[in-house]
Amino acid sequence: MKVKDPIRQIPGIGPKREETLRANGIETVGDMLARFPVSYIDRSPRGGFAEPSEGKVTVRAVLDKVGTPRRVRGGTSLFSLSATDDEGSRGQIYFFNSPWLTKAFKPGRAYYFFGEVREKNGRRSMSQPAFSDVEKAEDFFDLTPIYRPVGTISGVSLAGMIKKALERGVDIPETMPMWFRKQHNLCDAETALLALHAPKNGEDVAMGKRRMKYEESLKINLGLLSSRAEGRHTHIRIGHFSELKRFEESLPFSLTDGQIKVIGEIISDLKSEGAMNRLVQGDVGSGKTVIAAACAFLTAISGYQTAYMAPTEILAEQHAATLTAMLSPFDIRVALVTGKMRAAERDAALSAIVSGEARVIVGTHALFQKNISYYHLGMVITDEQHRFGVGQRGMLALKGDAPHTLVMSATPIPRTLALVLYGDLDLSVIDTMPAGRKPVKTYFYTEKAMPKILSFMAREMAAGYRGLIVCPFVEASEEMEDVRDAVSVSQEVDAYYKGLYTVGCLHGRMKSDEKNRIIAAFHDGEIDLLVATSVIEVGIDVSELSVMAVMSAERFGLSQLHQLRGRVGRGDRQAYCFLVSNQLTDRVIDRMKVLVNEHDGRAIAEADYRLRGPGDYFGFRQHGFPEFYALDPYTDRDILEETGKDAQVIMASPKKEDMLCRAYLTESFFDGVSRVSMN
């Protein structure tokens, strides 16, 4: 068989199984073989009946007696074996609902039994162990692969199909050049497949996984290079860079060294022949909006328009106001487009956009809808990119003729994850904060300290500042009694202050108009203390917000907590964050210590990834993070960097084996295991 043959070629796959497999993305023999085991059963640990075992062990024992099947409580069928191990210790072996197995055993013969040895009333026993006659146990100690179910097809059935495919023989094409495999000491593709699906021991698995790590890493790097090579040319020419000094001098503050560095990197992109594709990372409050304004300024005076896409309407409104303040001195008009605009307002905005009168257009995903036509779109700026699908950003870019692209994110992402998620973008980091900005003092308490925390918040509010309490849930849940919710906490806090301060509640189940009304009231000072879910994570920019508490803080990731903490301390006053949790396990304490002692977003991101792993890190499973079989972008960062260099060689090479590798790996880059940010 060949890897591109349909799965019906595999013995044992009929129409029903084929339908289920195809519905789950398994259409060819190659697709089937790409479903690797998630774990392995290792029967090599040995034991006996002398004492209970820690985990499963293999016991070699001679059968003394084979019992007769009988019915026990609930109608269950049971039979037992009496056996003596090699050390002379006796034990009982039980099998449930398997009366036919009595024919598999003969007294006086030796068998291997694999299971957990338990003790009850001084007797040792095993229940439902795997077994084999010692004289027929040629492959009993081979590792047994365990597969995830596919639809209604069990993992055991899938294992049988894969075994039959390998027994029939599959022509496995080699995807990596010989020089690459020699350089990194890797086995060939066929050996790797057999090592993973039919390993003899742990060394086989390690060899197969090592090969897969390099293949997945090379696939990512080749795909990123391929995507960078496409669509880089643009006819848009942005200049007048000397005029940027006028913009800087008009600001009521001085740019930080980090902002100046990033603007310089952007200007280098704009001076090149290709379209800019750059990601700007910086903690909340590091000054990314000023950089966006500088880009919009240069784009406008060069005769083009800038589209600025924000993740929420309230944030779009805030950015529109900020950009208007910065750009109006230069007669650069900023237009706002949101879903809640009145028809007359919307028509006026659309008219100003199509005529070119509006040079900067701010909005949410409404910016790429069909009824919006741009005069001459020169730059697309996307805020908090991970909250949009790449397809949405691409739709906005299609509104122009290969416009320059700037992506901004305050979400701290480990460097290797940034490579995987945003590898098609050049990376800039704002590594300094505005002058006078103080790190948020962070503390970790149990709920017993809440009266003291609320008293502290009262002193801040009495001084004219505002407070924030964040909860993981909207309402109380019987299943999560120990987890605080926004509704009940807001009621408790309101009762505590007895009308001295105005308490508001905000959560995601509210209608957009209601949410916007509450955020506006909080922004204007009509609400002193806001109790909210993480819906406020991107959407509140209040300089008077000086203190916050996060309830059930253990329910949030460290990077999310850091993002939430960035909501306070936007002014020059010292700000405070209280992390509150009654969970005092070592893991929770270690995680909270990171937030208490660390304020650098990238360092927190590295710690968060290390503690949580790639699957759970800030919900990247929902934001396009690829699933890998063997590669871990955190622990295998060296492999990612190594293969990055190799990928450049392969991309430029005219050799046949390099060209075949390039074609095979880049062809499927946006499919299957390496689906990067394409949701």
> Which pLDDT value is given to residue 316?
86
Q: What is the DSSP letter of 437?
A: P
Rounded distance between C-alpha atoms, residue 269 and residue 418, angstroms? 19
Lowest mean per-residue pLDDT among 33-37, 224-228, 230-234:
230-234
Rounded distance between C-alpha atoms, residue 256 and residue 431, angstroms? 9
CA separation (Å) from 475 to 533, 555, 561?
10, 15, 20
Report the run of H or E that residue 217 belongs to, with start and end: helix 202-229
Rounded distance between C-alpha atoms, residue 96 and residue 71, angstroms? 10
- Domain identity same for 514 and 576: yes
Q: What b/e string do you get for 318-346 counting C-beta neighbours within 10 Å, with b at 16 or more? A: bbbebbbebbeeeebbbbbbbeebeeeeb
**Average pLDDT rounded to a whole number, residues 70-98:** 90
Token representation of residue 341 = 């605009």
Token representation of residue 246 = 């006028």
| Residue 570 CB contacts under 8 Å (≥ 6 apart), including other chains | 285, 541, 542, 543, 545
**Average pLDDT rounded to a whole number, residues 519-530:** 91
* Residue type, position 1, single letter: M
**Average pLDDT rounded to a whole number, residues 662-671:** 59
At residue 439, φ and ψ (nearest 5 deg) are -60, 140
Rounded distance between C-alpha atoms, residue 159 and residue 150, angstroms? 11
Residue 527 lies in a domain: yes
Lowest mean per-residue pLDDT among 215-229, 406-420, 446-460, 543-557:
406-420
Residue 664 lies in a domain: no
* Residue type, position 563, single letter: Q
Rg (CA), the chain: 31
Q: Which residue's structure tokens are 């009850």?
A: 120
Domain boundary among 604, 622, 640: 622
Q: Are the C-beta atoms of residues 469 and 503 closer than 8 Å to each other?
A: no
What is the model's pTM?
A: 0.63
Residue 14 lies in a domain: no
Token representation of residue 482 = 């120990």
Torsion of CA 630, 634, 640, 642, to 10 degrees: -110
CA 414, 417, 419, 425 torsion: positive or negative?
A: negative
Residue 344 lies in a domain: yes
Residue 479: exposed, middle, or buried by beta-carbon count in 10 A (0-12, 13-18, 19+)? exposed
Residue 603 lies in a domain: yes
Lowest mean per-residue pLDDT among 269-283, 294-308, 403-417, 552-566:
403-417
The closest alpha carbon to 219, from 634, 617, 677, 675, belongs to 675
**Average pLDDT rounded to a whole number, residues 451-457:** 96
pLDDT-based confidence at 474, cuts 50/70/90?
confident
- Domain identity same for 285 and 346: yes
- Domain identity same for 249 and 331: yes
| Residue 180 CB contacts under 8 Å (≥ 6 apart), including other chains | 186, 214, 218, 646, 650, 661
- Domain identity same for 484 and 416: no
Residue 173 three-state SS: coil
Token representation of residue 60 = 């070699």
> Residues, the chain, total?
679
- Domain identity same for 417 and 476: no
The closest alpha carbon to 353, from 369, 336, 375, belongs to 375
Residue 410 three-state SS: coil
> Which pLDDT value is given to residue 514?
86
Q: Are the C-beta atoms of residues 576 and 547 closer than 8 Å to each other?
A: yes
Q: Kindly report the number of other CB atoms within 10 A of residue 72's CB atom.
A: 9
- Domain identity same for 412 and 465: no
The closest alpha carbon to 423, from 415, 434, 412, belongs to 415
Q: Are the C-beta atoms of residues 634 and 609 closer than 8 Å to each other?
A: yes
Report the run of H or E that residue 357 belongs to, with start and end: none
Residue 339 lies in a domain: yes
pLDDT of 88 above 90: yes
pLDDT of 369 above 90: no
Q: Which residue's structure tokens are 């209608």?
A: 511
Torsion of CA 387, 390, 396, 401, to 10 degrees: 150
- Domain identity same for 395 and 264: yes
Q: Are the C-beta atoms of residues 300 and 324 closer than 8 Å to each other?
A: no
Domain boundary among 601, 622, 643: 622
DSSP 463-502: TT-EEEEE-SBSS--GGGTTS-BHHHHHHHHHHHHTTSS-
- Domain identity same for 392 and 486: no
CATH number at residue 252: 3.40.50.300
* Residue type, position 409, single letter: S
Q: Are the C-beta atoms of residues 287 and 230 closer than 8 Å to each other?
A: no
CATH number at residue 92: 2.40.50.140
Lowest mean per-residue pLDDT among 78-92, 141-155, 573-587, 624-638:
624-638
Q: Are the C-beta atoms of residues 294 and 263 closer than 8 Å to each other?
A: yes
pLDDT-based confidence at 415, cuts 50/70/90?
low
> Which pLDDT value is given to residue 286?
80
Domain that includes residue 405, residue range: 241-429
* Residue type, position 620, single letter: F
- Domain identity same for 597 and 484: yes
Chain-wide mean pLDDT for the chain? 85
| Residue 656 CB contacts under 8 Å (≥ 6 apart), including other chains | none
Q: Kindly report the number of other CB atoms within 10 A of residue 654's CB atom.
A: 6
Rounded distance between C-alpha atoms, residue 158 and residue 21, angstroms? 10
Q: Which residue has the higher pLDDT, 343 or 672?
A: 343
| Residue 124 CB contacts under 8 Å (≥ 6 apart), including other chains | 49, 50, 51, 52, 89, 90, 91, 92, 117, 118
Q: Are the C-beta atoms of residues 266 and 278 closer than 8 Å to each other?
A: yes
Rounded distance between C-alpha atoms, residue 309 and residue 300, angstroms? 17
The structural domain count of the chain equals 4
At residue 455, φ and ψ (nearest 5 deg) are -65, -40
> Which pLDDT value is given to residue 615?
46
> Which pLDDT value is given to residue 625?
47
- Domain identity same for 194 and 255: no
- Domain identity same for 332 and 255: yes
Give the model confidence (pLDDT) of 255-282 as tens digits. 999 999 999 999 999 998 888 888 898 8
Residue 557 lies in a domain: yes
Q: Are the C-beta atoms of residues 59 and 74 closer than 8 Å to each other?
A: no
DSSP 402-446: S-EEEEEE-S---HHHHHHHHTTSEEEE---PPTTPPPPEEEEE-
CA-based end-to-end distance of the chain = 33
Lowest mean per-residue pLDDT among 49-58, 471-480, 621-630, 668-677:
668-677
Give the model confidence (pLDDT) of 190-215 as tens digits. 999 999 999 988 999 999 999 999 99
- Domain identity same for 262 and 304: yes
Q: Are the C-beta atoms of residues 577 and 563 closer than 8 Å to each other?
A: no
Residue 671 lies in a domain: no
Domain boundary among 186, 207, 230: 230
| Residue 413 CB contacts under 8 Å (≥ 6 apart), including other chains | 281, 421, 422, 559, 605, 618
